[in-house]
């Protein structure tokens, strides 16, 4: 018997080509995008509290995540009967010192969103990054100004006082109480996907 006689195809039909083999390669997963940096200006500048909010452990070092920074056109005020401050838009001569916080995970960002609560709203702001000596840094960009997010006061303006809020006073008088209050607790931000 000849091959033609056993072929299911007629002599005028070409034989089908064998199916193409698909090559499968395993490539590493794409890196997850980092959350947008934040400007922090209040209680979270107390590094043990920032460490607790991000990791659940106040003794964890978080200095690698922060750089001194300032925003212009905003002012920081104490709030009535509260340990934490409010920042609001203000005149062009006003400024607020704080830290540029570069978060490593979206989980950290969610934890801070939970920590800040509904009394604050996120807005975009231009931040000037500073060197340790307080002069504008050239490390991040040529003009040392970058767009970041900030938690601005969204509560009642009647809660604002005319008294300035000072980190040193919070750290000396209230930080230990805050850390004691949060001991054993952890913000839920879901570990990285």
| pLDDT value at residue 137 | 72
Q: What's the confidence (pLDDT) of residue 132? A: 77
Instruction: State the Cα torsion 143-146-147-152 to the nearest 10°.
Output: -110
Backbone angles phi, psi at 47, to 5 degrees: -60, -35
pLDDT for 140 equals 56
CA distance 180 to 113: 21
Cα separation of 187 and 137, whole Å?
Answer: 33
Q: What share of the chain is helix, strand, coil (3-state, %, to 5)?
A: 25, 25, 50
- Tell me the average confidence (pLDDT) per consecutive run of 10 residues in the chain, 193 residues long: 49 61 62 87 97 93 96 96 96 96 94 92 95 72 82 96 95 96 77 49
Pairing of strands 74-78, 38-40: unpaired
CA–CA dist 120, 172 (Å, integer): 25
């Amino acid at each position: 018997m000849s091959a033609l006689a056993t072929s299911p195809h007629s002599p005028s039909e070409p034989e089908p080509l064998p199916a193409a083999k698909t090559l499968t390669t395993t490539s590493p997963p794409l890196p997850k995008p980092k959350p947008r940096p934040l400007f922090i200006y209040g209680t979270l500048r107390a590094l043990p509290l920032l460490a607790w909010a991000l990791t659940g452990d106040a003794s964890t070092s978080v200095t690698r995540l922060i750089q001194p920074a300032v925003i212009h056109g905003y002012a920081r005020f104490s709030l009535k009967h509260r340990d934490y401050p409010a920042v609001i838009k203000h005149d062009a001569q006003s400024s607020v010192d704080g830290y540029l916080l570069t978060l490593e995970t979206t989980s950290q960002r969610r934890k801070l969103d939970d920590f800040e609560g509904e009394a604050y709203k996120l807005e975009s702001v231009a931040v000037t990054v500073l060197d340790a000596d307080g002069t504008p840094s050239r490390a991040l960009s040529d003009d040392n100004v970058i767009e970041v997010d900030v938690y601005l006061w969204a509560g009642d303006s009647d809660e604002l006082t005319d008294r300035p809020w000072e980190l040193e006073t919070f750290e000396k008088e209230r930080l230990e109480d805050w850390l004691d209050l949060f001991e054993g607790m952890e913000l839920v931000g879901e570990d990285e996907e």
